[in-house]
Amino acid sequence: MTWMSILVAIVLAFNRWVIYYFGLLNGVYLLLFLVSFFEVMRFVRRTFFSDYEQILKSEMTWPISIIVPAFNEARTIVETVRSLLAVNYGQFEVVVVNDGSTDSTLERLVETFELKRTDRIYRRTLPTGPVRGIYASLDHPSLIVVDKEWSGKAGALNTGINVSRYPLFCSVDADSIIEENALLRVVKPFMEHPQEMVAAGGIVRIVNGCEVREGRVVRIGLPRKSLPVFQVVEYLRAFLGGRIGWSSLRSLLIISGAFGLYRKSDVIAVGGYDGSSETEDLELVLKLHEHLRRSGRKYRIVFVPDPVCWTEVPSTFRVLARQRNRWHRGLLQSLWRHKRMMLNPDHGVIGMLALPYFLLFETLGPFVEILGYVMVALSYFLGLLNVDFFVLFMILAVFFGVFLSVAAVLLEEISFRRYPGWEHLALLVLAGVLENFGYRQVLALFKVKAFYDFLRRRKAWGRMEREGFRAAPERPGAA
């Protein structure tokens, strides 16, 4: 056999496997979409306006501690806290944790809300970095500000958990906007299944292009730039087409750090947020799953599609690359840490379906995709490319890609309809088509790069830990 024939054999084999892979991937997506579709319909019918009124007025409603880690957020922190204090909910407190900011985050808070130092007593249930002081406001009894030395977002959240008073806590990013009724909506599953509920996440929508006044979205719109518009479609697909489906299969693995509600005692039981994880939100949910599955308790971790958290997404490639790199490294890190759950029948759908899905499609997918393009070029030069077939295959791939995006837009249209105009609809569908030419490929490249970084860092970390160093502080609130 010549070199050539070996190469030809490899290329042909790869091409065949790619077709299988492609079929499987889209089959799974389609299935997930169908599950999501029925779940959304069920959700819409099950939603009674009066339930929220009841939750608002009932004395049985769980009080909530909203925890806001803040690192150099002087620009927006006052507005964020104002809008959080105005949230429509019965009993709640806002715990801002100033995570060693080097700007005037603390000063601005102290000034605006007339904060005073108190010696509030709290239990250090979770280990965290040193706290410099706790501040309270006379005019706003439900606001507490904790000033601590820098320890990263996970440490800040853990401090917030320690200081918080209530049995449920809600993590909120300092630069995100929570809709007025979001707490009422996200707490609802806790009211319905008080014994079983452990965590609930809401939907994250993109604020770029919306008009914001005084920490409130007053007019919803789509971003002007193309990069954020692609992300709008991507987020719709991820939340409405993905998380709803996973949630109804009882294997939701991601609750966005930007907005999630947790039962404090369970989070404490797994040791709180993990400071060594790149994506502490994902790691926490996985830890909760592993712990609760092992304990054999009946539990629920769900996604609730209508409480909205508005967040700003990167509008430049550079920032997007950094964000995705971190996300993907975090995913790889968590998959690696919880590898025992993988294909473990004890972990039910999570072990047998959700985790393999993340490994097979989220982790390996980008490689297959990038390699696929290389192989196409190679096939062409080797004269192996059946041009007809190739063109058809590409059309099919694009069709499927568009299909999933359009399907997500459909879910949005039949349920929540946050984007009211026809021009929004047209733009979203257009973005669903165009993202297949460039945006997706770039995302795949980001992920391949993240995989490489992950392998490199793992080595680096091992070394540093032995020498007693901590990883150099990256901006903790990035994303």
* Residue 466 binds other proteins (CB under 8 A): no
For other proteins, the closer of residues 321 and 397 by Cβ is 397
268: buried, middle or exposed (CB in 10 Å: 19+, 13-18, 0-12)?
A: middle
Q: Which stretch binds other proteins (CB under 8 A): 147-155, 304-312, 313-321, 394-402?
A: 394-402
Task: Report the relative pairing of strands 216-219 and 168-172 from DSSP bridges.
Answer: unpaired
For other proteins, the closer of residues 13 and 86 by Cβ is 86
For other proteins, the closer of residues 420 and 473 by Cβ is 420
What are 4's two structure tokens?
């050539």
283 closest CA partner among 299, 295, 272: 272
Site for other proteins in 420-449 (CB under 8 A): 422, 425, 429
**Which of helix, strand or coil describes residue 393?**
helix
Among 1, 2, 3, 121, binds other proteins (CB under 8 A): 121
CB of 117 to other proteins, least distance (A): 6
Write the single-letter amino acid at 420: P
For other proteins, the closer of residues 59 and 467 by Cβ is 59
Q: Are 85 and 143 in contact (CB under 8 A)?
A: yes
CB of 46 to other proteins, least distance (A): 7
* Residue 218 binds other proteins (CB under 8 A): yes
Q: Which secondary structure element, helix H or strand E, spans residue 199, and what is its range? A: strand 197-206
**Which of helix, strand or coil describes residue 279?**
coil
Helix, strand counts (H, E) of the chain: 17, 12
Rg (C-alpha) for the chain, rounded Å, is 23
* Residue 467 binds other proteins (CB under 8 A): no
What residue has token string 């909760």?
288
Question: Which residues are CB-neighbours of 408 under 8 A, at least 6 positions away?
Answer: 33, 233, 236, 237, 240, 241, 432
* Residue 410 binds other proteins (CB under 8 A): yes
* Residue 86 binds other proteins (CB under 8 A): yes
Q: Which stretch binds other proteins (CB under 8 A): 40-48, 163-171, 286-294, 295-303?
A: 40-48
**Which of helix, strand or coil describes residue 410?**
helix
Q: Are 190 and 197 in contact (CB under 8 A)?
A: yes
Site for other proteins in 242-281 (CB under 8 A): none
Q: Which stretch binds other proteins (CB under 8 A): 69-77, 114-122, 156-164, 348-356?
A: 114-122
Q: Which stretch binds other proteins (CB under 8 A): 201-209, 269-277, 293-301, 387-395?
A: 387-395
* Residue 354 binds other proteins (CB under 8 A): no
Among 31, 374, 414, 430, binds other proteins (CB under 8 A): 414
Q: Which stretch binds other proteins (CB under 8 A): 193-201, 226-234, 268-276, 285-293?
A: 193-201
Among 9, 31, 377, 396, binds other proteins (CB under 8 A): 396
# residues contacting other proteins (CB under 8 A): 47
What residue has token string 């200081």?
163
Question: Which residues are CB-neighbours of 36 under 8 A, at least 6 positions away?
Answer: 240, 241, 242, 244, 245, 248, 411
CB of 388 to other proteins, least distance (A): 6
What residue has token string 């509030």?
120
Q: Are 15 and 369 in contact (CB under 8 A)?
A: no
Cα–Cα distances (Å) from 60 to 56, 153, 188, 355, in that order, read 10, 32, 12, 36
CB of 440 to other proteins, least distance (A): 17
Q: Which stretch binds other proteins (CB under 8 A): 10-18, 204-212, 239-247, 408-416?
A: 408-416
Q: Are 95 and 163 in contact (CB under 8 A)?
A: yes
* Residue 95 binds other proteins (CB under 8 A): no
* Residue 118 binds other proteins (CB under 8 A): yes
Among 216, 291, 293, 440, binds other proteins (CB under 8 A): 216
**Which of helix, strand or coil describes residue 375?**
helix
For other proteins, the closer of residues 317 and 389 by Cβ is 389
Cα–Cα distances (Å) from 139 to 46, 61, 105, 411, in that order, read 39, 24, 19, 43
147: buried, middle or exposed (CB in 10 Å: 19+, 13-18, 0-12)?
A: buried
353 closest CA partner among 253, 460, 424: 253
- Rounded to an integer, what distance in angstroms lies between the CA atom of residue 159 and that of residue 417? 38
Write the single-letter amino acid at 124: R
**Which of helix, strand or coil describes residue 364?**
coil
For other proteins, the closer of residues 131 and 464 by Cβ is 131
* Residue 116 binds other proteins (CB under 8 A): yes
* Residue 416 binds other proteins (CB under 8 A): no
Site for other proteins in 148-187 (CB under 8 A): 180
Site for other proteins in 44-73 (CB under 8 A): 45-46, 48, 50, 53-54, 57-60
Among 317, 399, 437, 452, binds other proteins (CB under 8 A): 399
Among 1, 3, 4, 213, binds other proteins (CB under 8 A): 213
Question: Which residues are CB-neighbours of 243 under 8 A, at least 6 positions away?
Answer: 201, 252, 254, 303
For other proteins, the closer of residues 130 and 468 by Cβ is 130
* Residue 407 binds other proteins (CB under 8 A): yes
Which residues here bind other proteins, judged by CB under 8 A?
45-46, 48, 50, 53-54, 57-60, 86, 88, 116-121, 138, 180, 192-195, 213-214, 216, 218, 388-389, 392-393, 395-396, 399-400, 402-403, 406-407, 409-410, 413-414, 422, 425, 429
